C-alpha cells in the first residue's frame, strides 16, 4: 500500500510539474522542436516542421501581424483574414458616421466590389527567422562600455538586416532576446492593400464592453474579417483596383466541430511585451507606485469621456476608440496588482534572488561573473525609479491632453522655418504631413472634452510630480494652485491649434516667417515647455539608466540559465512571432468559485436582460434568434458555444491570434485574458491564468445565420470532424 501511495504521489508530482511548464511560455517557432514532445503529450498531432518550416509550407504562413499591434490569420485561399473586432475598431470607426454607423449596425460587404479600402493599414507576414547571435556578438569587445556595445550592436544589426532585405524586396530587423544574450533576424513581407470585408455590430463584436473587459465569463463575438490584396504576381502592392486577392501559402481550415474540455490548444501570434525576469525591486515599484498612479489618472479621464459621450451620438462615435484604449490598461493594471499581491510576487522574486546570490557566492569559476549582481540591482533601482516615474507621469497625464500631442507635431516645422536659410522643399514636405495629421486629428476631436481633460491632467501633475516637477507645472501651481481653469480657458481661447479651420488656413498660406505665430501659440508653448523638461532633463538620464539596467538583466538572465541549466527558459515577448500552448480548461479563481470553460448564447440573453447596462444591449433580431435557438448547424451539444477559455500564455499583441487544435484547425480567435491572469506578463500562475477566445462555431454562426453572408463560408474549408 505504501509503495502504491508513493508511486501515485510521484506520478502526481510529475503531472503537476509538467503541466506548469507546458502552459507557461511564448516560444520561438524555429526552436519549437524543444517543446514538441510536451505539446504532443497534451494532444498535438502535428510535427515541429508542420508548425514552422522555412523550406516548405507550415502553419506560420497563415499568421500575420495585423496593423501595428495585433495578430490575424488567413482562413481561405483567397486572402480572407480574421482578426479581432477590437483590432479593427479604429478602421471600422473611420468608415462610420452618424448616417452610416458601422460601429453600431455592423458592416458586411455583399461582394468583393463592396469591400472597403483602408489607407495605412498593413499586414506583416514572416518569411523566415534566423539565429544571428554569433555574428552580432563577434563584434563586441569585452572591454566596451554599454554605450559602445549598443552602438556596435546597432551597426551590425543594421548591416545584417539590410543584407536580408534583398534590395527592398523584404523588410527585416534583428531583435535581441534575453536582454541581448541572443539575437535573431526576422525577414518580413508587408502587404498594404487590406480591405474591410465584414464586422458584426458592436452589440456582438463588443458585447460586454468595458463592463466585461478582462473578465470571465464572456460572451463577445470579438471578430472582424478583412481581405488582403496583392498584384497579379501575388507580391505586395499599394491599393489599386487592379489588385487581386492574395493567395497565402497556407490558410487554416475552420472547425465546426466545437472545442471540448481538455482539448489541446495552441495560440500562434505576435505577443507584444512581457517582463518575466524583473527583480523584486521593479515589481514592488509597479505594484506600489506606477500602477496606482496610472489607475487614478485614467479613472478621472474615463469619467470625463463617459459624461461627454452620453450627450450626443456624434461624440460617442468620435471617442469610442479612445475610451476603449484608456479603459483597457486601466482595468488590466487593477487586475495585475491584485494577481501580484495574491501570488506574493515580491517575496517570491526575493527568494529567487537569494538563491541566485548564494549560488553566485559559491566560489566556482562559472559563478564569479555574477557575484554582487543583486546588490547592484538594488542600488541602481534606488536611483532609477524616481526618473522612470516622472517619464510615466508625462505620458499618462501630460500627453493625455490631445492638444498637447497635436501641438508637439509643429515643432519640426518651427525648427525648419527658423533656420538661417530655410529649406523650402523640406518645409513643404512637413506641411503636407501636418495637413494629413490635422485632418485625422480633428475628425475625432472635441475641444470641450479636451478642455476638461487638460484642467484635470494639470491637477494630476501637481499631485504626483513631487521633486521632479516640470517648471511649467511648478509655475502654474504657484499662480493658480488647483483652480487651473482660467489658464486652460485662456489656452483654448487664444490657441489657433484647437480650430481645424485656423490650422488649415495657417498651413495653406504658410511662409517660413510664420513660425513665430506658432511659437506664440498658447497650446504650442505649453506643449513645448512640458516636452523640453521631459526630453531635455528626464529622457537623457532615463536612457542611461535603461542602458545600465539592460546590462544588469543581461547578466542576470544569463546567470539564471546557467544556474538552472535543465530548465527551458523562454525569452520575453518582444513583438516577434511566438507559439504558446495549453488546453481548454476552467479554473478556480476565488474561494468557492469555479470558472467553467464555455459560455453559450443563453448567457447573452441573461446579460441582455439587465436592461440598465448599456454594454449588454442587443438587437431585437439577435434576441429573437437566440431565444428561438436558431443555431442552424453550428450548435455544440445543442448549445451555441460563444467563448471558451484555455491555459495558453498570452499577452497584448496576441489579440487576433488564431487558436488552433491538435490537427491544425482554426477553432477560435484569442481576444483577452481573464482578470485573474493580467499579472502573467510578470508572473504566470498555471492554475489561474486563462486566455479567452471566440469559438469558431460562433463566428460561423454570425456570418451565416445572423449576417446571411454564406458566400464567405463557401470560400472556407469547414471541418466537421
- Could you give the residue numbers annotated as active site? 86, 222, 655
115 and 228 belong to one structural domain = yes
What's the rounded Cα separation, in Å, for the pair 666 and 136?
38
141 and 86 belong to one structural domain = no
User: How far from chain centre, in Å, is Cα 606?
Assistant: 31
Q: Is residue 286 part of a domain?
A: yes
Q: Is residue 12 part of a domain?
A: no
Whether the Cβ atoms of residue 716 and residue 82 lie closer than 8 Å to each other = no
Q: Is residue 16 part of a domain?
A: no
430 and 554 belong to one structural domain = yes
**Domain range for residue 185?**
124-191
CA dist list (Å): 653 to 187, 450, 649: 19, 29, 12
400 and 447 belong to one structural domain = yes
Q: Is residue 419 part of a domain?
A: yes
Which pLDDT does position 258 carry in this prediction? 86
256 and 386 belong to one structural domain = no
Phi, psi of 35 (to 5 degrees): -105, -5
pTM, two decimal places: 0.87
Q: Is residue 296 part of a domain?
A: yes
Domain boundary among 136, 163, 191: 191
255 and 303 belong to one structural domain = no
Count of structural domains within the chain: 3
Q: Is residue 6 part of a domain?
A: no
What's the rounded Cα separation, in Å, for the pair 688 and 686?
6
Q: Is residue 257 part of a domain?
A: yes
Which pLDDT does position 9 carry in this prediction? 40
CATH code, domain carrying 711: 2.40.10.120
Packing angle between helix 601-608 and helix 620-627, nearest 10 degrees? 130
Helix (H, G, I), strand (E, B), or coil: what is residue 437?
helix
- Among 182, 578, 184, which residue's Cα sits nearest to residue 173? 184
Strand stretches in 491-614, DSSP E: 578-583, 587-590, 593-595, 598-600
Which pLDDT does position 619 carry in this prediction? 94
Domain boundary among 191, 223, 250: 191
What's the rounded Cα separation, in Å, for the pair 68 and 652?
11
Which pLDDT does position 648 carry in this prediction? 97
What's the rounded Cα separation, in Å, for the pair 202 and 105?
7
659 and 642 belong to one structural domain = yes
Question: In degrees to the nearest 10, what's the CA dihedral of 596, 598, 604, 609?
Answer: -20
Which pLDDT does position 545 carry in this prediction? 86
Which residues of the chain fall short of a pLDDT of 70?
1-22, 721
254 and 210 belong to one structural domain = yes
531 and 638 belong to one structural domain = no
Domain boundary among 191, 213, 243: 191
CB atoms within 10 A of CB 490: 11
Q: Where are the alpha helices (DSSP H) in 409-446?
A: 411-417, 424-443
290 and 159 belong to one structural domain = no
386 and 518 belong to one structural domain = yes
381 and 310 belong to one structural domain = yes
Could you read off the pLDDT of 124-149 as tens digits, one per residue?
Answer: 999 999 999 999 999 999 889 888 99
Q: Is residue 414 part of a domain?
A: yes
Q: Are strands 718-719 and 254-255 parallel, antiparallel or unpaired?
A: parallel
Which pLDDT does position 16 carry in this prediction? 39
Which distant-in-sequence residues (6+ apart) come within 8 Å of 305 by Cβ? 319, 322, 323, 326, 449
Could you read off the pLDDT of 448-499 as tens digits, one per residue?
Answer: 999 999 999 999 999 999 888 999 999 999 999 889 999 999 999 999 999 9
Which pLDDT does position 4 carry in this prediction? 39
Amino acid at each position: 500500500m505504501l509503495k502504491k501511495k508513493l508511486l501515485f504521489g510521484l506520478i502526481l508530482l510529475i503531472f503537476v510539474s509538467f503541466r506548469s511548464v507546458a502552459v507557461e511560455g511564448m516560444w520561438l517557432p524555429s526552436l519549437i522542436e524543444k517543446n514538441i514532445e510536451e505539446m504532443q503529450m497534451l494532444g498535438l498531432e502535428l510535427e515541429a516542421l508542420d508548425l514552422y518550416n522555412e523550406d516548405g509550407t507550415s502553419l506560420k504562413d497563415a499568421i500575420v501581424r495585423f496593423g501595428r499591434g495585433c495578430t490575424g490569420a488567413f482562413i481561405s485561399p483567397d486572402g480572407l483574414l480574421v482578426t479581432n473586432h477590437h483590432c479593427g475598431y479604429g478602421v471600422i470607426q473611420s468608415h462610420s458616421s452618424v448616417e452610416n454607423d458601422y460601429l453600431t449596425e455592423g458592416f458586411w460587404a455583399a461582394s468583393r466590389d463592396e469591400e472597403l479600402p483602408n489607407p495605412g493599414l498593413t499586414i506583416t507576414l514572416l518569411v523566415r527567422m534566423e539565429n544571428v547571435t554569433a555574428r552580432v556578438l563577434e563584434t563586441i569587445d569585452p572591454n566596451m562600455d554599454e554605450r559602445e556595445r549598443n552602438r556596435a550592436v546597432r551597426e551590425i544589426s543594421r548591416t545584417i538586416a539590410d543584407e536580408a532585405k534583398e534590395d527592398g524586396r523584404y523588410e527585416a530587423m534583428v531583435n535581441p532576446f534575453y536582454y541581448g544574450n541572443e539575437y535573431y533576424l526576422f525577414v518580413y513581407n508587408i502587404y498594404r492593400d487590406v480591405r474591410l470585408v465584414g464586422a458584426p455590430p458592436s452589440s456582438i463584436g463588443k458585447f460586454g464592453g468595458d463592463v466585461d473587459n478582462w473578465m470571465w465569463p464572456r460572451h463577445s463575438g470579438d471578430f472582424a474579417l478583412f481581405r488582403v490584396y496583392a498584384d497579379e504576381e501575388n507580391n505586395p502592392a499599394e491599393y489599386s483596383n487592379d489588385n487581386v486577392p492574395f493567395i497565402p501559402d497556407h490558410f487554416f481550415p475552420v472547425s465546426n466541430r466545437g472545442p471540448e474540455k481538455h482539448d489541446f490548444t495552441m495560440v500562434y501570434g505576435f505577443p507584444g511585451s512581457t517582463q518575466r525576469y524583473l527583480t523584486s525591486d521593479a515589481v514592488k515599484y509597479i505594484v506600489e507606485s506606477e500602477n496606482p498612479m496610472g489607475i487614478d489618472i485614467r479613472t478621472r479621464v474615463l469619467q470625463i469621456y463617459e459624461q461627454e459621450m452620453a450627450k450626443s451620438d456624434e461624440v460617442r462615435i468620435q471617442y469610442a476608440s479612445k475610451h476603449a484604449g484608456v479603459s483597457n490598461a486601466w482595468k488590466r493594471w487593477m487586475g495585475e496588482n491584485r494577481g501580484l499581491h495574491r501570488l506574493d510576487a515580491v517575496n517570491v522574486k526575493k527568494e529567487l534572488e537569494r538563491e541566485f546570490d548564494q549560488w553566485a557566492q559559491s566560489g566556482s569559476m562559472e559563478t564569479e561573473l555574477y557575484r554582487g549582481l543583486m546588490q547592484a540591482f538594488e542600488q541602481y533601482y534606488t536611483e532609477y525609479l524616481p526618473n522612470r516615474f516622472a517619464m510615466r507621469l508625462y505620458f499618462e497625464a501630460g500627453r493625455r491632453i490631445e492638444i498637447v500631442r497635436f501641438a508637439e507635431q509643429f515643432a519640426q516645422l518651427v525648427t525648419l522655418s527658423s533656420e538661417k536659410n530655410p529649406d523650402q522643399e523640406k518645409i513643404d514636405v512637413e506641411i503636407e504631413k501636418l495637413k494629413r495629421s490635422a485632418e485625422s486629428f480633428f475628425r475625432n476631436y472635441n475641444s470641450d472634452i479636451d478642455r476638461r481633460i487638460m484642467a484635470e491632467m494639470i491637477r494630476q501633475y501637481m499631485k504626483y510630480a513631487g521633486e521632479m516637477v516640470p517648471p511649467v507645472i511648478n509655475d502654474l501651481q504657484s499662480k493658480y494652485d488647483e483652480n487651473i481653469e482660467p489658464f486652460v480657458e485662456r489656452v483654448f481661447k487664444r490657441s489657433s491649434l484647437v480650430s481645424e479651420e485656423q490650422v488649415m488656413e495657417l498651413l495653406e498660406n504658410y511662409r517660413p516667417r510664420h513660425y513665430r505665430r506658432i511659437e506664440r501659440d498658447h497650446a504650442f508653448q505649453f506643449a513645448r515647455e512640458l516636452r523640453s523638461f521631459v526630453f531635455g532633463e528626464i529622457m537623457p538620464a532615463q536612457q542611461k539608466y535603461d542602458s545600465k539596467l539592460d546590462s544588469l538583466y543581461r547578466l542576470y538572465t544569463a546567470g539564471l540559465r546557467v544556474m538552472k541549466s535543465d530548465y527551458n527558459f523562454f525569452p520575453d515577448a518582444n513583438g516577434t512571432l511566438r507559439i504558446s500552448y495549453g488546453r481548454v480548461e476552467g479554473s478556480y479563481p476565488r474561494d468557492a468559485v469555479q470558472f467553467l470553460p464555455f459560455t453559450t448564447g443563453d448567457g447573452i440573453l441573461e446579460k441582455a436582460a439587465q436592461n440598465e447596462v448599456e454594454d449588454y444591449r442587443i438587437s431585437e433580431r439577435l434576441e429573437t434568434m437566440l431565444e428561438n435557438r436558431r443555431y442552424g448547424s453550428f450548435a455544440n451539444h445543442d448549445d451555441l458555444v460563444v467563448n471558451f477559455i484555455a491555459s495558453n500564455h498570452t499577452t497584448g499583441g496576441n489579440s487576433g491570434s488564431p487558436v488552433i487544435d491538435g490537427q491544425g484547425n482554426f477553432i477560435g480567435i484569442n481576444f483577452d485574458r481573464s482578470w485573474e491572469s493580467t499579472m502573467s506578463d510578470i508572473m504566470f500562475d498555471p492554475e489561474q491564468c486563462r486566455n479567452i477566445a471566440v469559438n469558431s462555431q460562433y463566428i460561423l454562426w454570425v456570418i451565416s445565420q445572423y449576417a446571411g453572408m454564406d458566400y464567405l463560408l463557401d470560400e472556407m474549408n469547414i471541418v466537421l470532424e
